[in-house]
Amino acid sequence: MPPRRSTPPPAAPAASTEATTRIVAVARTHLFAHGYSTWTMDDLATELGMSKKTLYQHFPGKEELVRAALEQFAAGVRAEADAIIADRNLTFAEKLRGFTGGMHQRLSQLTPHVMRDLQRFAPKLHELTFDLRRRNIPYIFGRLLEQGQLTGKIRPELDAPFAAEFLLHAMQGIMHPATLEHLHLTPPQAFEKAISLYFGGLLTAAGRKDHEKSFPR
């Protein structure tokens, strides 16, 4: 009779998704309220009411945790855009207004202080903010522009992928901490000005008419 094989011990339970979500949410609140350099993992563990050991089981360090918080922020932007773009009950102008309104609220959390703090104390995370824009802006605005062309609100001769890529590079420069400080603008203010200038050259006559109704001066 062949020897019986021993049953392997049960695998350790996976880290709680709920706990991970809570940790990331609190870290994101700290980041947007205080910047990167003014708090520690110890501070976070105390606020969460968990041991440092438990916290480090979820994230090996502060940089990894803040990376997850920034990724979550960008994922929220894309999810909101997807929902707005897919809503057939909204006109193109309403979709643009809905997305820019949501972005204004989200960008109000990314103050120049937060961006400068990341640039100084966590340059890899500061670079991540540029990478997240590279992922989101062409994707979101490429789809918006294509819908605008299909509905006659965006000039049909425009190359939508090129226009979306153009906006990306404009935003990368405008959202740089030094540029914001030079212009005395917050991220949401800079975003609104850039979008107004950008779409001012892309809209058809019908698109401008709808835009003026949705974005009264």
As beta bridge partners, residue 203 has 154
What does the pLDDT read at residue 60? 96
What does the pLDDT read at residue 209? 85
Sketch out the chain's domains with CATH numbers: 69-214 (1.10.357.10)
CA pair distance 182, 110, nearest whole angstrom? 17
137 and 166 in contact (C-beta within 8 Å)? no
CA pair distance 83, 118, nearest whole angstrom? 30
What does the pLDDT read at residue 77? 95
What does the pLDDT read at residue 50? 94
- Can you give the pLDDT of all 217 residues of the chain as single tens digits? 444 444 444 444 444 789 999 999 999 999 999 999 999 999 999 999 999 999 999 999 999 999 999 999 999 999 999 999 999 999 999 999 999 999 988 998 888 899 999 999 999 999 999 999 999 999 999 999 999 999 999 999 999 999 999 999 999 999 998 999 999 999 999 999 999 999 988 999 988 888 777 666 6
For residue range 9-20, what is the model confidence (pLDDT) as tens digits?
444 444 478 999
What does the pLDDT read at residue 165? 96
* Secondary structure letter of residue 198 according to DSSP: H
What does the pLDDT read at residue 111? 87
User: DSSP string of 26-46?
Assistant: HHHHHHHHH-STT--HHHHHH
Cα Rg for the chain, rounded, in angstroms? 22
* Secondary structure letter of residue 216 according to DSSP: -
Q: Residue 89 has which token pair?
A: 């009950």
